Structure 1
Amino acid sequence: MATQPIYATGRSDAPAIPFADIAPWAIFGGLIALILLYFVSTEQGAFALFKGMYVHEFVHDGRHLLGFPCH
């Protein structure tokens, strides 16, 4: 007897991952995303943590691609 592929039966033998195992990684990923969003959208525009225009020039094209005005 041939076994059916998983996509045909809707069954999976993979165990479910508990929420408590996923939550720290989800929070970490969210914080990293917020930090990247800050640098692309705000750093050396309306507010600056670093002196000079290095961060602005590094993310300049990303700002325009995402629709953030910078000049």
Structure 2
Amino acid sequence: MTSSKLLTSSEVAERLGISRQTVAWRVARGQLAPAQQLPGRSGAYLFDADQIAALAADHAAALTAEAARLTTEATR
């Protein structure tokens, strides 16, 4: 189920801290699923804001865990 808020590729890139090209690369490889694709030759992707927020939170948690692991290793 999608939320009423949709994000553009640029907004997704900003929220995930990646480039628009990386957003397109992840879509092409099935790593990121757009909620919609607009009609037309270029067919811009639109993404569900709730799914992107969850993905950003998961990414932040993974980075925090990795930072904690590295800090622990460095203090041994």
When normalised by structure 2's length, the TM-score is: 0.38
Structure number with greater CO (CA < 8 Å, separation at least 6) is: 2
- Larger Rg computed on CA atoms: 1
Query: Which structure shows the bigger proportion of residues in strand conformation?
Result: 2
TM-score using structure 1 length: 0.40
